[in-house]
Amino acid sequence: MQATLSALAEPNRLQIVELLRRKPRGVGEIVDRLGLRQPQVSKHLRVLSDAGLVEVHPVAQQRIYSLRAQPLKELDAWLEPYRRTWDDRFDRLDGVLRDLKGKDKDKDKDKDKDKDKRDGHGT
Amino acid sequence: MQATLSALAEPNRLQIVELLRRKPRGVGEIVDRLGLRQPQVSKHLRVLSDAGLVEVHPVAQQRIYSLRAQPLKELDAWLEPYRRTWDDRFDRLDGVLRDLKGKDKDKDKDKDKDKDKRDGHGT
DNA sequence: CAGGAATATGCCTGTCAAGGCATATTCTGG
DNA sequence: CCAGAATATGCCTTGACAGGCATATTCCTG
């Protein structure tokens, strides 16, 4: 996840990924389309490859790079819990604010703290 | 999109976001939970804020930060075209490879290549 | 108004990553 | 084996950025 995000955070890399979304392509074609230098594209592809975002298939002296679905699926899965809150959770801010304003000394115990304890974030 | 990805690419920032997914929190609480130094947390929150990922609500001297849905929704939307290809498109690699092997001077039949003259970096 | 809590900012430093460039590497055909 | 195409690597330089720390700022309370 972290790896996926880091890899996609680079603009050129993101473009490469978007380019590969259509179909697999050789390095030269990517160089051509994005107007980048060949070595740099190779390096970006390396990073993407290390992140598992692309895979390569040699054809003669060419290397055809194609997208791998898994990392993006994981990103999709990561978004899942957020999707769930988009509807009702976000506007509970008011409640929290009100709660904070009406706080007193007894809150030192943090009664709502232990309920946060059980999270289970997997990334 | 780019901004969102860059912001989330930083591990601590990602953790902050995941922390805020549960509910809005003040800076101090984040500092406490993640074991980071306060100034650094403030800086990360600043970045997240600039990226539109969080918003702040002052309550006395406290600043309550909460998640904003939009950027994540956009990320979700960005994934949409990929979701579509996860089923059938990715294994068309064989076809492309076969195609490349059997071609001599026949370039790709894509026609959107004339607009790749752009040098800028785009979004 | 003073004191103090909660945050934000400024400055400095070390690290790391991206671009540029030359060159190595791999593969094909003759 | 040689030449050449397609791609990868190594080295160097520079800029962005995260962390550390001191300090400024804001706001509440007595």
DSSP code of B122? -
Determine the average pLDDT of the residues in B62-86: 94
Comparing every residue's Cα with the C1' atom of nucleotide D29, the nearest one is B60
Buried-exposed string A85-114: b where 16+ CB fall within 10 A, e elsewhere: beeebbeebeebbeebeeeeeeeeeeeeee
Contact B11 A23 (CB under 8 A): no
Residues 64-123 of A with CB within 7 A of strand D: none
- Asked if the model's pLDDT at residue B71 lies above 70, the reply is yes
Whole-number Å distance between alpha carbons of A45 and A58: 14
> Could you tell me if B51 and B6 are in contact, meaning their C-beta atoms sit under 8 angstroms apart?
yes
Between strands B25-26 and A25-26, the pairing is unpaired
- Asked if the model's pLDDT at residue B55 lies above 50, the reply is yes
Candidates B66, B83, B108, B109, partner chain A, best to mutate (most A CBs within 10 A): B66
> Could you tell me if A12 and B121 are in contact, meaning their C-beta atoms sit under 8 angstroms apart?
yes
Whole-number Å distance between alpha carbons of A27 and B40: 40
- Asked if the model's pLDDT at residue B84 lies above 50, the reply is yes
pLDDT per residue as tens digits for the range B42-53 = 999 999 999 999
DSSP code of A37? -
pLDDT at B86: 80
Q: Which CATH number fits domain A2-70: 2.40.50.140, 3.30.70.260, 1.10.580.10, 1.10.10.10?
A: 1.10.10.10
B66, B83, B116 member nearest A93 (Cβ): B66
Quick one: closest CA in A to B4, which residue?
A: A9
Residues 6+ apart with CB under 8 A from A47: A7, A10, A13
Q: Which residues of B touch A24 (CB under 8 A)?
A: 93, 96-97
pLDDT at B103: 43
> Could you tell me if A107 and B29 are in contact, meaning their C-beta atoms sit under 8 angstroms apart?
no
Residues 6+ apart with CB under 8 A from B20: B54, B65, B66, B67
* Nucleotide D8 C1' to residue A38 CA (A): 10
> Could you tell me if A2 and A121 are in contact, meaning their C-beta atoms sit under 8 angstroms apart?
no
* Nucleotide C19 C1' to residue A33 CA (A): 18
Contact A72 B62 (CB under 8 A): no
> Could you tell me if B62 and A107 are in contact, meaning their C-beta atoms sit under 8 angstroms apart?
no
Q: At B85, phi and psi to the nearest 5?
A: -90, -10
- Asked if the model's pLDDT at residue B113 lies above 70, the reply is no
Nucleotide nearest to A28 (CA to C1'): D6
End-to-end Cα separation, chain B, in angstroms? 8
- DSSP β-bridge partners for residue A66: A55
Quick one: closest CA in A to B70, which residue?
A: A86
Quick one: closest CA in A to B88, which residue?
A: A69
- Asked if the model's pLDDT at residue B110 lies above 60, the reply is no
- DSSP β-bridge partners for residue B26: B64
**How far A42 CA lies from chain B's nearest CA (Å)?**
18
pLDDT at A86: 80
Q: What is the pLDDT along chain A (123 residues), one digit of tens a residue?
A: 999 999 999 999 999 999 999 999 999 999 999 999 999 999 999 999 999 999 999 999 999 999 999 999 999 999 999 998 886 555 565 555 555 554 443 333 343 444 444 443 434
pLDDT at A88: 59
| 3-state SS class at B42 | helix
Comparing every residue's Cα with the C1' atom of nucleotide D4, the nearest one is A61
pLDDT at B85: 85
